[in-house]
Structure 1
Amino acid sequence: MEKEWNIIDAMRHSRHDWLNKIQLIKGNLELNKIDRAKAIIEEIIIESQSEAMLSQLNMPLFSELLLTGNWNGYSFKIEYELLGSGNAGPELDKSLTHWTKELFLNIETVIEPFLESTLTISIFKEAKNIRFLYELQGNITSEEKIKSFSKQKHHGLQINLLSMKRGELSIEVMADC
């Protein structure tokens, strides 16, 4: 699933995403759905602000993973939000990126591939630590695999499986900054 992105690939995918957004706005304007067009523009603004905040975490590997995650052909959509501001630092970048990639691969093997699934990653930056909340909405076919994965130790990360029930999974990852 993982791909090394060069500038041309990234620009091609980004251009495709922007054309889709522009077509959505244009289509809604042509249907005289002004409020929906405005809502799409507002969503684009919020998404751009989130991308800027993500880039300021000083975690380039993790930022790249989230920014390009939906281009990798996973059976689930990746969304993220940042709450709080600050700088996490490069020491956390490598271990969290590795763990998140492993989570993506595990999720890929335990969800129904043809049902809509979304993984939302909420990032809470506080004074001395940072918390990542991974919430999956989707049909999980193997709870044991996720439980086993969440119990594995990863350098510098405190991992807690918060809940797993039909159609929902919540994992919290905490680290010091």
Structure 2
Amino acid sequence: MKPKKITANEILRHSMHDFLNNMHLIQMNLDMGRLDEAKNLIRKYSLKCNQFFDVNNTGLYNTNELLQMFSWTYNKVTLEIQTSLQKRGAERYDVLLKDYLERFIQSIYPLFRGYKEQLLKVHILTNETLEIHVDLKGDWSPYTWIEETFNGLFRMEKEVNTESQIKFKLIASERLE
């Protein structure tokens, strides 16, 4: 399944639509006197913005673009992003990482079945090296790993491959500066 190509105008339209929906949800909670819920929503949206800037600051611009536009392209999957970023300098891994993540989701997407929620968690860590932890939970037909050569930039640690969970790590081959 090929993802839908999105124009700059569509990106802006989606962004403005999401922004307005978020503001209306906060306003609704304030109007109902649910201050704690409104504060939690503000924290949630602020965290999402901080994660965007954190991923950009590591140099993963293309990967960040894929992750930020993910729900618009792959609406059968809920994406949850986590970041634990302490170092910069991951630029050389960016295109390869984005391409691999895109090929992974494109290969599993047609295998989804039923109406069960499909949840993809991507945790990006930079300490001494760049690590990407991927955990997909849901319901799909059997999945065959995409055999990849990462040109020596990454090694993959496969952890789980069942009809309800796929879990793996991509670990950069060199330390970040």
TM-score by length of 2: 0.87
Matches of 1:81 and 1:162, distance apart in 2: 19
* Within-5 A mapping of 1:1-177: 1-112=2-113, 114-127=115-128, 129-143=129-143, 145=144, 148-149=145-146, 151-155=147-151, 156-165=153-162, 167-175=164-172, 176=174, 177=176
- The Cα shift of 1:4 comes to 4.5
Q: Number of paired residues? A: 172
Q: CA deviation at 1:84?
A: 2.4
Provide structure 2 residue ranges, at least 5 long, that are not aligned to the other structure: none
Partners of 2:10 and 2:86 lie apart in 1 by 30
User: RMSD of aligned C-alpha atoms?
Assistant: 1.9
Query: Percent identity among equivalent residues?
Result: 17
| TM-score, normalising length: structure 1 | 0.87
Contact kept, 8 Å, 2:90 with 2:130, in 1: the verdict is: no
Cα drift, residue 120 of structure 1: 1.0
* Per-residue deviation, residues 84-137 of structure 1 (Å, max 9, x unmatched): 22224322111111111101102212222532111111011022x210000112
- Give the CA deviation at 1:52: 0.9
Contact 2:141 2:163 in 1 (8 A): no
**Alignment partner of 1:56: what SS?**
helix
Find the aligned partners of 1:74 and 1:102 in 2 and give their Cα distance: 16
Matching residue's letter, 2:102: K
Shift of 1:21: 0.8
**AA partner of residue 10 (structure 1):** I
Shift of 1:64: 0.9
Shift in Å at residue 154 of structure 1?
Answer: 2.6
C-alpha separation in 1, matches of 2:155 and 2:114: 29
Kept after mapping to 1: 8 A contact 2:3/2:74:
no
Cα displacement (A) at 1:63: 1.4
